[in-house]
Each structure stands twice: as structure tokens, then as C-alpha cells.
Amino acid sequence: LVTICLYFVDNRAIKDSEDKRNTLFQSFSLYKINTTEERDQLQTRYNNLTKERDQLQTRYNNLTTEKGHIQAKLFVIEQHCQEGWRYFDSSLYFLSTKKKSWEESRQDCQGRGADLVIINSKEEQTFLFNLHQRAWIGLTDSVTEETWTWVDGTTLITGYWGTGQPDDSGQEDCAEIYYEQADPVKTWNDDKCSTNHNWICEKVV
């Protein structure tokens, strides 16, 4: 009888021990799950913050580079404006006070690190018209007659010729802008390249 009693006591003790072990295991498993979830959440947050930091660093670097470019551009503009150049829409323009042939005018521009002006828009044309000067521009058909080409080798697409121009009256193969017109977008004229005119240089900044 004692043996039987001891058996049941031991059996209950074993069962209690197993129950405690199972409870402890479940608690540990739940803790492990919660810890893993928390760890994953922290890792995700860390990754997001790292990504945000990298994006901010990239933006800062880009802004620093852009600032450097702007400062350099402003320095160039300031230096040239002190020398008589004028600024408009990312380009500097020099209007001569002397008069030369088209080719000599271009050589002067190139000596200044520029070239005869290339007119790319109605706004630029209007800006140059408002300078109120008759001057050579960087346009010629001296290579191929009636094919007007800019000094950078591109073919003219949109022209701002005066009425009846170009008329090629006596080998007039170079273009000038003049302001004795009411309409600022009808001011080009073809003239002999050997004629002496003022000229306009352009330097992109």
C-alpha cells in the first residue's frame, strides 16, 4: 500500500514537473516570438532610418554641388558684366563698339572664348532686338547657297527675317540683326560678309 501511495505521489510530482516545464516552455516560446517580432520591427525601423539618412545625404551632396555650380556661374557672370557683357537666360552677350567684317567679327568673339550669337528662341531674339544695334549674328549660307547654317554647324530652323529677306542681293551670304523695324521678330537681313558691322558675341555659362 505504501508503495502504491509513493507511486501516485511520484507520478503526480512528475506530472507537476512536466506541467511546469510545459508552462515554462510556452512562456519562453511566447517571449521568443515577441522578442523576434520586436527585433524585426526594430530592424525595419533601422533600415528605414538608414534609407532616409542616405537619401538626405544624397540630397545634401547634390545641393552642395549645385551651390558650387551656381557660385561659379555667378562669378563668371559678375566678371564678364564688369567687362561690358550682358546676361540673359544662361548666356552672356558682348556687343561690340567697333565694326568689322563677318569673319573678323567671329575671330574677335573666338578670342574672347565665345562665338557669334546663335539665336534659339523668340525671347532671345527680342532681347537682342532691344539692344538697338545693327550687328552681325552667327548665321551664314556661304558654304551652301540658300542653306543657312549657324556657327556651331546646325541648320537654321526658325528665322526672324525682315520682309523680303533674305534676298541674296549681290552675294549677301552673312546675316545681321537690325532694329529699324517695328516688329522685333522680323529684323534679320542678309548682307555681304565683307561689310563692316558691329557684332554680338555669345558665351553660354
- Residues with Cβ < 8 Å from 172, sequence gap 6 or more? 166, 190, 191, 192
CA 83 to chain centre: 27
Total-model pTM: 0.66
- Residues with Cβ < 8 Å from 97, sequence gap 6 or more? 198
> Which pLDDT band, with edges at 50, 70 and 90, does 79 fall under?
low
How many structural domains comprise the chain? 2
Same domain, 123 and 172: yes
**Start-to-end Cα distance in the chain:** 109
User: Domain limits at 7?
Assistant: 1-82
More confident residue, 77 or 19: 19
Same domain, 159 and 92: yes
> Which pLDDT band, with edges at 50, 70 and 90, does 22 fall under?
confident
More confident residue, 65 or 76: 65
Same domain, 107 and 193: yes
Task: Indicate whether 70 pLDDT > 70.
Answer: no
More confident residue, 72 or 138: 138
Contact 108, 96 (CB under 8 A): yes
